Amino acid sequence: MKRLLPRLMNALLIGLLLFSCTKINDPVPVDEHDDVTVEKDVTGEAVMTVNLENNDGPDGAEGSAKLIDNDTLTKFLVRDIGDDGLIVEFQFEEPTQVASYKITSGNDADPRDPMDWQISGSDDGEEWVPLDKQDYEMFSDRNLTKRYSFKNTRKFTHYRWHITKLYAGQMFQASEFRLLSVPSVEQVISPFTKIDTITREGLTLFFVNKASDFNETIKDEMVEVFFTNYPRLLNDFNPDAQKEVAFRIEPSFDGVAYVFSGFATYGAAYMTNNPNDLDVVTHEVMHLVQSYAGGAPGWLTEGIADYVRHVYGLYNDRANWSLPDYQPGQHYTDAYRITARFLVWVEQSYDSDLVKTLDDLLRRGQYEESIWLQRTGNTLEDLWTSYEADSQID
């Protein structure tokens, strides 16, 4: 028994050590012989290939060679990434560890920026191991370099950057892409991203949080505003609007909110500092419902969205948000709340269905200014003159 006890203790200790050193469901096995001691840019040690090339070839003014020329003022441009996306592949002569990479946005046209992509590693160029995945990424400035990091001590001979979606459209550009080896003790996972998928009654909301310190209560209330008001707006304005919606909480955006490319972006700082202004959500999701054809007047688009916030908003009082009284010098083209109040006045004075009519025409690309005369018997300018004289609303 005295001999058996030490053996049992040793076995138990070994078992505990093995258990504590194993990360469950880790797709990348740890290389115990990782010899990376200093961070190093290893891009130049690999041969790069792409599945789609610039029309003028790799050495053209915007060819693929510009992606790794170590010059952030040049760029690689592909006119159409197609359904399969753009694949940029790096092949090393010797197995090489990579745990970070940098992307520099192009000099213009942010719709061409990469938004969704995956980084993978391979020993043979056939079987790929996922290393990092980014969704709903944003480059807030031109020629902006962003760094992405993940944990990986395994050495691969092949690495792949697979871009599957751009900020908008199909034309891709980026100024620079760099691969970095990082000592294991210095490896981190960044930037922060957490995606929650919430589905209710045929609608799905992807809540994409890029701010690690974003308040959960604000998030929960934004979600509730969406699932309360979006179905109402679908029913009242556009039943064919998208049923899957994404909200992105973006720390690098210093504004309030906007909709672009079919999803809504909210400034993390604004929402944190204005936690009661939850009907920003109502305004933004109305833009998703609008989905207006090209050429829609911006003042009317924003005016209708604020009209909807006024009518459907859940927390306007809590946010101290209201339509401002008329002031000399205002004009119906001032957009937002000024236009919204004018729309309320026209509906109360002439046509209770005016906004729904305008919304429908704008979506079908059939809006003309003559509709105001047809619906109210007055031109738009005459209506504004009457509003200036007596702007009272209920």
Judged against a pLDDT cut of 70, whether residue 14 lies above it is answered with: no
DSSP string, 141-202: STT-EEEEE-----EEEEEEEEEEEESSSS-EEESEEEEEE--GGG---BS--EEEEEEETT
- Residue range 69-78: mean pLDDT, rounded: 98
Residue 20 CA, distance from chain mean position: 37
Distance from C-alpha of 97 to C-alpha of 85, rounded to nearest angstrom: 25
Residue 58: asked if its preceding bond is cis (omega within 30°), the reply is: no
What pLDDT band is residue 3 in, cutting at 50, 70 and 90?
Answer: very low
Residue 61 CA, distance from chain mean position: 30
- Residue range 70-82: mean pLDDT, rounded: 98
What pLDDT band is residue 6 in, cutting at 50, 70 and 90?
Answer: very low
Considering the chain, what is the average pLDDT of its residues? Answer: 93
- Residue range 57-68: mean pLDDT, rounded: 99
Q: Which residues contact 227 (CB under 8 A, 6 or more apart)?
A: 198, 200, 203, 205
Can you give the three-state secondary structure of 75-130, one letter per residue? CEEECCCCCCCEEEEEEEEEEEECCEEEEECCCCCHHHCEEEEEEEEECCCCCEEE
Write the pLDDT tens digit of every residue in 151-185. 999 999 999 999 999 999 999 999 999 999 999 99
pLDDT of residue 344: 99
What pLDDT band is residue 352 in, cutting at 50, 70 and 90?
Answer: very high
* CA distances to 102, 104, 174, 245, 376 from 145, in Å: 7, 4, 10, 28, 53
Distance from C-alpha of 103 to C-alpha of 72, rounded to nearest angstrom: 10
What pLDDT band is residue 23 in, cutting at 50, 70 and 90?
Answer: very low
Angle of helix 298-312 versus helix 280-290 axis, rounded to 10: 130
Numbers of helices and strands, H then E, in the chain? 9, 16
Contact 4, 11 (CB under 8 A): no
Share of the chain above pLDDT 70, in %: 91
Which region among 2-11, 23-32, 339-348 has the lowest average model confidence (pLDDT)? 2-11
Residue 206 φ/ψ region, left for φ over 0, alpha for ψ in the -120 to 50 degree band, beta for the rest = beta
Tell me the two tokens of residue 70. Answer: 């170590």
* CA distances to 66, 116, 126, 230 from 137, in Å: 22, 7, 27, 24
Write the pLDDT tens digit of every residue in 83-116. 999 999 999 999 999 999 999 999 999 999 999 9
pLDDT of residue 150: 99
pLDDT of residue 19: 35
Q: Using CA of residue 297, residue 298, residue 299, residue 301, what is the dihedral sign?
A: positive
Start-to-end Cα distance in the chain: 92
Judged against a pLDDT cut of 90, whether residue 21 lies above it is answered with: no
pLDDT of residue 9: 40
- Residue range 261-281: mean pLDDT, rounded: 98
φ/ψ of 30, rounded to 5, equals -80, 135
Bridging pattern class, strands 203-209 and 244-250: parallel
- Residue range 196-220: mean pLDDT, rounded: 98
pLDDT of residue 7: 41
Write the pLDDT tens digit of every residue in 358-373. 999 999 999 999 999 9
- Select from 150, 152, 184 the least CA-distant residue to 35: 184
Delineate the domains of the chain, giving CATH numbers in brackets: 40-186 (2.60.120.260), 196-389 (1.10.390.10)
* CA distances to 67, 89, 122, 199, 221 from 73, in Å: 10, 22, 31, 43, 43
Judged against a pLDDT cut of 50, whether residue 135 lies above it is answered with: yes
